[in-house]
Amino acid sequence: MAVVRGKSTEFVAFLTSPLTWVKSMMYLEEENQLLREINLSLTLQVETMLNLDKENQELNEMLEFKSKTNLKILPVRVVNKGIQPNLLSIIIDAGTDDQVEPNQPVLTAKGVIGKTIQTNKTASIVQLITDVNYRISVRILPSGATGILRWVGGGKGQVREVQKNVEINIGDKVRTSGFSDIYPAGLPVGTVAGVFDERGSYQKDVIVTLPTDLNAFQYAFVVIDRNNELE
């Protein structure tokens, strides 16, 4: 069955790729302008970060602490966003030929959007964060509270069963926890939008805003190697 699904995915990717190309051309100018603005902003940030990195290295040397992130990331294009009445999966133009395998994280510049679940030579199916079967282990910063996030509609996710005594505020960053075999630690997931404290319960629920607009994105990244995540 996996072979049939793989071959059909490749066929669909082939069939829809010309239309995707036309669509990407339509947004090219707008995207270019946006990228120029981001580029300028990032250049300024890099200057600051270079200074901070140098300072960090010096401090690490003092503490003899060795930490280095070395994820191998593959840029991919979205060739199809599924055929069902609701957006739950996408097809990307990379497969086993590009070292893409099932259960690899897929993200945009804003955050995690899903994981690969079915791969073939030149195309793969990605299960999106909006799928009912999708779960992701997250850590809320700066408190460090962990939990399992799932989508609850309207661009929001929910982290249930967070310890009640942990202080969580609106705007706190939500990152992958690193407890999962799939997701390396520290990938951006979203920001805290609300905290619900149930009376009589030992836990609280956290609502998270997921930053990526699943309607609009056309490019993504696949983390194809996380073996060297921490050296």
Residues that bind other proteins (CB under 8 A): 4-5, 8-9, 12, 15-16, 19, 23, 80-91, 117-118, 125-128, 130-133, 150, 152-154, 158, 214-215
Amino acid identity, residue 164? K
Under 8 Å CB-to-CB from 67, ≥6 apart: which residues?
Answer: 60, 230
In total, the chain counts a number of residues equal to 231
Minimum Å distance from CB 79 to other proteins?
9
Residue 16 or residue 99: which is nearer to other proteins going by CB? 16
**Bridge partners, residue 145, by sequence:** 140
Minimum Å distance from CB 171 to other proteins?
22
Residue 4 or residue 62: which is nearer to other proteins going by CB? 4
DSSP state of 184: P
Residue 16 or residue 43: which is nearer to other proteins going by CB? 16
Amino acid identity, residue 177? S
Residue 15 or residue 46: which is nearer to other proteins going by CB? 15
Minimum Å distance from CB 89 to other proteins?
3
> Quick one: which of 125, 104, 138 has its CA closest to 210?
138
> Quick one: which of 2, 4, 221 has its CA closest to 92?
221
Minimum Å distance from CB 154 to other proteins?
7
d(CA 123, CA 100): 9
Minimum Å distance from CB 160 to other proteins?
9
Residue 8 or residue 146: which is nearer to other proteins going by CB? 8
3-state secondary structure of 186: coil
Minimum Å distance from CB 59 to other proteins?
44
Let me know: does 188 contact 221? Beta carbons within 8 Å: no
Residue 154 or residue 200: which is nearer to other proteins going by CB? 154
**Bridge partners, residue 75, by sequence:** 221
